[in-house]
Structure 1
Amino acid sequence: MRVLVADDHDLVRDALVEYLQSSGFDDVRAAASLTDAMRVVEDSGSFDLVLLDYNMPGMDGLQGLHRMIEANEKRPVALLSGIAPRKVMNEAIEAGAAGFVPKTLSAKSLVSAARFMAEGETFIPLEYHQTENHNAPELSEREKEVLRGICNGQSNKEIARDLELQEVTVKLHVKTLSRKLNARNRTHAAMIARDRNMI
């Protein structure tokens, strides 16, 4: 099964690609913008599923979705997002999206959703049936600095060096901010922060 993941955030994109590859998807490609994604499709043919970050460069709202559906020969194209409102999700589905995938999904759920959509089904996350409350939690200035380091792909040791802290202190901040963000791990925290424009 061939999947294309297009997201302009390296950490998010690499994590998604790794999830899919480790779950048996035999050909997973990556792109950092809509332009790059269109080029990949043009060069290598259509994919069983294309996952497009709703907020990446070149998307221009749902215009990018329309363009990719045409380029991918009307095969499944879904949107990735962290905090897009239900209205956007509904418009995307009406416009022909195969689904609307929150980046907060667990790896297992993401893989299941990808298989589901590649088979021609439409995926709508359970959370969109429940709530649209996306109030950003309050982080301390130090937590924001640590989170910025995580988003930049730095290790705890590197963050500790830059902020002149002990590594154990950074680990504590990571644990605290992850709990505030309801994040499962560092990568998840970075995904949430980026989609909520917290950094």
Structure 2
Amino acid sequence: MKVLVVDDSGVMRKIIARGLHSLWIDEVVEAADGVEGLAMFGDGSDIDLVLTDWNMPNMNGLELVQKIRAAGHKHPIVMVTTETEKSQVVKAIQAGVNDYLVKPFDQEMLQLKLQRVLPNPQTA
């Protein structure tokens, strides 16, 4: 399984990647913003899941989600963010995210979100 992690914080990308590797994720690729993330996503053929931050320079996570969905891709997407206002959550869901993970989070919450969005997740 290959996961694309998009976050402008290098530290947060490493935290998420470490959490994913400790579960069942084989490969994690990282992008620093939505523009880089969209380029790495490409045609989506080798990405199984996208975890994206909301607030990033160049292209934010919401725009990234909208572009992926506008291209017709159905990949599971989890928004990983500090945005907790109900209107923001609704906006993300309307854009096409499958789930929402609020920072800071623990390993158990990360695993729960993956189990909810992936078709046949393994257990840790």
**Do both proteins adopt the same fold according to a TM-score greater than 0.5, normalized to the shorter chain?**
yes
- Residue 61 of structure 2 contacts residue 79 of structure 2 at CA under 8 Å; is this kept in 1? no
Q: TM-score, normalised by structure 1?
A: 0.54
Question: What letter corresponds to residue 91 of structure 1 in structure 2?
Answer: K
Tell me which of the two structures has the higher relative contact order, counting C-alpha pairs closer than 8 angstroms and 6 or more residues apart. 2
Query: What are the residue-to-residue correspondences of 1:63-142 with 2, within 5 Å?
Result: 63-70=63-70, 73-119=73-119
Question: Gapped runs of 5+ residues in structure 2?
Answer: none
Correspondence for 1:40: 40
Number of residues of Structure 1 aligned to a counterpart in Structure 2: 120
Q: TM-score, normalised by structure 2?
A: 0.83
Q: Which runs of 4+ in 1 moved over 4 A?
A: none
Q: Which has the larger radius of gyration?
A: 1
Higher helix share: 1
Amino acid at match of 1:12: M
Is the contact between residue 5 and residue 31 of structure 1 (CA under 8 Å) also seen in structure 2?
yes
Cα distance in 2, alignment partners of residues 7 and 77 from structure 1: 13
More strand by share: 2
**Aligned alpha-carbon RMSD (Å):** 2.3
Q: Percent identity at matched positions?
A: 28
Aligned to 2:62: 62
Structure 1's 11 and 103: CA in aligned 2 closer, same or farther, altered over 3 A? same
- 1:18 and 2:14 equivalent? no
Q: Please say if residues 80 and 102 of structure 2, whose CA atoms lie closer than 8 Å, have aligned partners that are also in contact.
A: yes
